[in-house]
Structure 1
């Protein structure tokens, strides 16, 4: 399989490996996000020991680990009874030869023995620090990695020399994988999101409709039950969490709306929402001009495009998909897909604004996000407090070109955005799938920027 992107993460690992003394890195992130591929790419041309933990009894886990150490150092497998002896054995071998040591799916080991972080602490303090070797702990259970490895209560706290919280690809990064034209690339990204496993599963020589039906709507397909497996990685009883994610994906975004849709009282709901946020499955948003902690105008959104697609179209239609998946696609998904894609398009346009700032095609802004108050909303608002400058932008995923009405509407809504002094500077931008009516650009002054899909493709290609 082709390895895509991750230049920054590889550079970070390379710097740690090349620096004097030992290194202790922590790599974590959701399932399928590419942690193992990243580490294998990093280890490929370096002397290394790679151990993949499994969900099995502790004794067998330890036996396999020791067998792996012995095989790498070409020794007979010694008799070892405990994890402390296993890591002492590894430390003795590293005294003679420096290696990158990767323990993948570390949470599986902790499940069987929660004292393991203490054994690794002793290994790091007493043996690893005396070498130029590199230890990498990797895991898909975000909660376990954050509590048992990174958390203040962990014996390993303060000992890591670096960490990588591996994120899904942005649209710009995913564009290297998605070989559709820009229209279908946006549509496809709204289905797969930036998770590398999902992106590379699609065959871009086939239509998006074929890919959805083959890889998602088939009961035998890997992605058909993927969100349930994802939640079971983190949660023992995922039923209520599944219902919350479905409610949010279907448009119930405020706590009161989620409570009404799921029947979960506000007290318990708050804890469920916090857990889903901690697991990176939900995002909490407030208007960009509001205080994130204090604002009561919060909304929730599913944090991943594929999960949003799945909870919007697959989970509510399981019975029908089992019987007639093509009917579900033709009758339910395809007619509604533009509405689903429109939200993704807003996120892609926000990403484009940051890229335009980076390449100095737009003036800098310190914060960029959505804005709403009452019934009024603006897709993208950028704040530049130091310059009293405000950016206001709308994004339209429609089949008709944008005309003067949207310009008038955006100008009118700008007055409702209470931010900055009365003489603030205002800039405007419009993003449109279908371009703009003839003459619109000539009717606007230099405070306006217009971006169609061809322009967006240019922005993301770095041209």
Structure 2
């Protein structure tokens, strides 16, 4: 917008519907590039209807302008008050100007509801689903190196409202200490709002999400952790969660069929929230986030080692062909029911039943422990349990590779590269 020299205002709503978001909106417009923006300093509107009417009054009639309202779900309520005000303002004033009004929100269900049948903004907007920031974007916003940026991506999930609070070059623990000290920070509050909107009356789905977020991955263990719920109830709940793209259900990639389906929370931020924040919100609310932070430190290495796997697989799928490896139509993992065989990376010609395995790999994501010869020996043994063919072996490590004999090795910078292209 600035490069095109288009008058514009970009407002990001904070959490909660109160006078504070309105005051911040007024300050934002007053400091924008819209002509006559100073009117908002001279006359402060007392409500959203007046603010939007005043905004329409300063939009140019003879050239385009852009108005962006980010995190709109934070302004919405159960009664649809803000939606009604926005709809009336659009119909009566804003739509008469050559203005592009962009309504943005990270809560998919609430944004879809905004234009659904029976709601005030129905048939007044075109919808476009935009994914979260990718790991390379997170690196750019945070000013971190590749390894630390991947950590940041796992915590923030690439949500702009959270990433925007990351100070340039700030390490993970400083960021978490500051954000968790604020009970209203998007780090702890975004998931609460999203879950309240997605599942207002579905306690079972929430319980299943919590069970998966605690680390349970199999159907039986999830049912037990969710309160020994019935098979049919769990099936309905997982179907809803998969449909809403909140949970991924995956089968191992192998040369034969398998029923060993595993479940994981698809969004990295929600995965982090359920593991470390959701069960301990009372601590954060009573200003004892120091306890929460210490718990995160204690479980970080183990949690991160599992959480980084989907990101690594996605990155490899984008990166290949490279380092002598072919492009892989399918990149996943392999496991058995007893977990006596568990291979972090499986590249194949298709999934879940492959005709040909293209490569197998191991992920070691620790600060000061490179992928070494012992890890390679273990990978050789795992390969022998899956196939008798000399399938190429690869290693992915946060802190380097010392093993001799791998067909290819990748580090944090390699994983970020395909996201930059």
- TM-score when normalising by structure 2: 0.69
1:379-390 superposed matches below 5 A: 379-384=344-349, 388-390=356-358
Q: 1:420-451: per-residue Cα shift (whole Å, max 9, x none)?
A: xx87x7222101123233xx33x45xxx1022
Corresponding residue for residue 314 of structure 1: 277
* Range with bigger deviation, 235-244 or 202-211: 235-244
Corresponding residue for residue 333 of structure 1: 296
- CA shift at 1:70, angstroms? 6.8
Change (3 A) 1:141 1:348: closer
Question: How many angstroms apart in 2 are the aligned matches of 1:200 and 1:103?
Answer: 15
Question: How many angstroms apart in 2 are the aligned matches of 1:396 and 1:209?
Answer: 21
Q: 1:295-349: per-residue Cα shift (whole Å, max 9, x none)?
A: 743222122222222221122233444363324423x221211112112332332
Corresponding residue for residue 208 of structure 1: 172
Question: How many angstroms apart in 1 are the aligned matches of 2:213 and 2:321?
Answer: 32
Question: How many angstroms apart in 1 are the aligned matches of 2:106 and 2:289?
Answer: 31
1:271 aligns with 2:271: no
Aligned residues of 2:319 and 2:415 also touching (Cα < 8 A): no
- TM-score when normalising by structure 1: 0.63
Give secondary structure in 1 for the equivalent of 2:358.
strand
Corresponding residue for residue 26 of structure 1: none
2:400 aligned to 401, 413, 435, which one?
435
Change (3 A) 1:173 1:290: farther
1:285 aligned to 244, 247, 250, which one?
250
1:169 aligns with 2:133: yes
Corresponding residue for residue 452 of structure 1: 411
- CA shift at 1:411, angstroms? 2.7
Give secondary structure in 2 for the equivalent of 1:175.
helix
1:395 aligns with 2:363: yes
Aligned residues of 1:435 and 1:453 also touching (Cα < 8 A): no
Corresponding residue for residue 142 of structure 1: 108
Question: How many angstroms apart in 1 are the aligned matches of 2:112 and 2:371?
Answer: 46
Q: 1:98-118: per-residue Cα shift (whole Å, max 9, x none)?
A: 8889898599699759xx9xx
Give secondary structure in 2 for the equivalent of 1:307.
helix
Gaps in structure 2 of 5+ consecutive residues: 5-14, 16-27, 36-46
Change (3 A) 1:341 1:99: same
Give secondary structure in 2 for the equivalent of 1:426.
coil
Aligned residues of 1:288 and 1:370 also touching (Cα < 8 A): yes
1:247 aligns with 2:216: no
Question: How many angstroms apart in 2 are the aligned matches of 1:325 and 1:276?
Answer: 29
* Range with bigger deviation, 306-315 or 295-304: 295-304
Q: Name the count of aligned residue pairs.
A: 383
Aligned residues of 2:326 and 2:358 also touching (Cα < 8 A): no
- CA shift at 1:255, angstroms? 2.5
Corresponding residue for residue 367 of structure 1: 330
Give secondary structure in 2 for the equivalent of 1:407.
helix
* Range with bigger deviation, 332-341 or 317-326: 317-326
RMSD value over aligned CA atoms? 5.3
Aligned residues of 1:389 and 1:427 also touching (Cα < 8 A): no
- CA shift at 1:261, angstroms? 1.0
Aligned residues of 2:147 and 2:413 also touching (Cα < 8 A): no
Gaps in structure 1 of 5+ consecutive residues: 1-9, 15-30, 32-39, 48-59, 74-93
